Chains A and B, each alone.
Chain A
Amino acid sequence: MTVPSRGEVKPGLAGRPGLRDLLTGLGQGAADDQPVITAGVAAAGLEAAVRQIAAHPGARLADVFVCAGSPQTNGGPVTLRLVWGLDADRTYLITESAVDGERYPSLSEIAPAAFAEECEIYEQFGIRPAGSRPLNRVALPPGAGPDWPRLGRAPAEPPRDVHAPHHVGGHAFEFPFGPVRQVAVESLYYGLVTSGEELVDLYLFTWHKHRGVEWRLRGATPREALFQVERTEGLGAVGNAWAFAGAVEAALGIEPPPRAMAMRAVALELERLYNHAAATAALCQSTGLMIGQAAAEIALELLLRVNAAAFGHRYLFGVVDIGGTRADLDAAALGSDLPAAYGELERAAAALLSTNSFLDRLEATGILTEEAARRLGLVGPVARATGLAIDARADHPVRPYGQSRPEVAVQDAGDVLARFRVMLAEAAESVRLIAEIGRTAAGPGLALPPGAGPGQLASSGLGWAESSRGESLAWVALDDSGRITRARLRPAAVRNWRGFDDACRSQNVFTDIPIIEASFWLTAAGTAR
Chain B
Amino acid sequence: MPLWTLRGLRRGVVTTRYPARPDPSARLLPTPPAFRPDMLTPGLADRLVSVCPSRALARDGDMLVFDVGACTACGRCRAAAPQAAGASGEFELAATAREHLIKRIPLGGRPA
Contacts from A to B (Cβ < 8 Å): 224, 227-228, 231, 289-292, 294-295, 298, 305, 308-309, 312-314, 317-318, 351, 355, 357
Contacts and interface: CB of A to CB of B under 8 A. Distances in A.
Nearest to A314: B29
Contacts of B30: 312-313, 317-318
B8 interface: yes
Contacts, number: 43
A224 B53 contact: yes
Contact of B7 (A224, A313, A318, A351): A351
B1 interface: yes
B29 A317 contact: no
Contact of B74 (A289, A291, A308, A318): A318
Contact of B53 (A227, A292, A309, A357): A227
Nearest to B74: A318
B61 to A, nearest CB: 26
Contact of A291 (B8, B29, B53, B72): B8
Contacts of B86: none
Contact of A308 (B5, B25, B54, B72): B25
Contacts of A355: 3-4
Interface of B: 1, 3-5, 7-8, 11, 14, 25, 28-30, 53-54, 72, 74-75
Contacts of B7: 291, 295, 351
Nearest to A315: B30
B25 A291 contact: no
A308 B31 CA distance: 12
Contact of A227 (B8, B29, B74): B74
Contacts of A314: 28-29
Contacts of B75: 318
Contacts of A228: 53
A295 B4 CA distance: 10
B4 A289 contact: yes
A298 B12 CA distance: 13
Contacts of A308: 25, 28-29
Nearest to B1: A357
A217 to B, nearest CB: 12
B69 to A, nearest CB: 16
B54 to A, nearest CB: 8
Given A318-B74, A357-B1, 13 more contacts: A224-B53, A227-B54, A289-B4, A291-B5, A291-B7, A294-B11, A294-B14, A298-B11, A309-B28, A312-B28, A318-B75, A351-B4, A351-B7
Nearest to B76: A227
A196 to B, nearest CB: 28
25 contacts: A224-B53, A227-B53, A227-B54, A228-B53, A290-B8, A291-B8, A292-B4, A294-B8, A294-B11, A295-B7, A295-B11, A298-B11, A308-B25, A308-B29, A309-B28, A312-B28, A313-B30, A314-B28, A314-B29, A317-B30, A318-B30, A318-B74, A318-B75, A351-B4, A351-B7
A295 to B, nearest CB: 7
With a 10 A CB-CB cut-off, give which of B53, B54, B72 has the most chain A CB atoms.
Answer: B53
A298 B75 CA distance: 28
B74 A317 contact: yes
Contacts of B8: 290-291, 294
A338 to B, nearest CB: 14
A290 B5 CA distance: 10
A253 to B, nearest CB: 26
Contacts of B54: 227
B25 A305 contact: yes
A326 B67 CA distance: 25
Contacts of A227: 53-54, 74
A401 B3 CA distance: 41
A351 B69 CA distance: 42
A447 to B, nearest CB: 12
Contacts of B4: 289, 291-292, 351, 355
Contacts of A309: 25, 28
A44 B28 CA distance: 57
A183 to B, nearest CB: 17
B11 to A, nearest CB: 8
A104 to B, nearest CB: 36
A292 B1 CA distance: 10
B28 A305 contact: yes
A517 B7 CA distance: 27
A305 B30 CA distance: 12
Contacts of B5: 291
Nearest to A291: B8
A291 B8 CA distance: 6
Contacts of B11: 294-295, 298
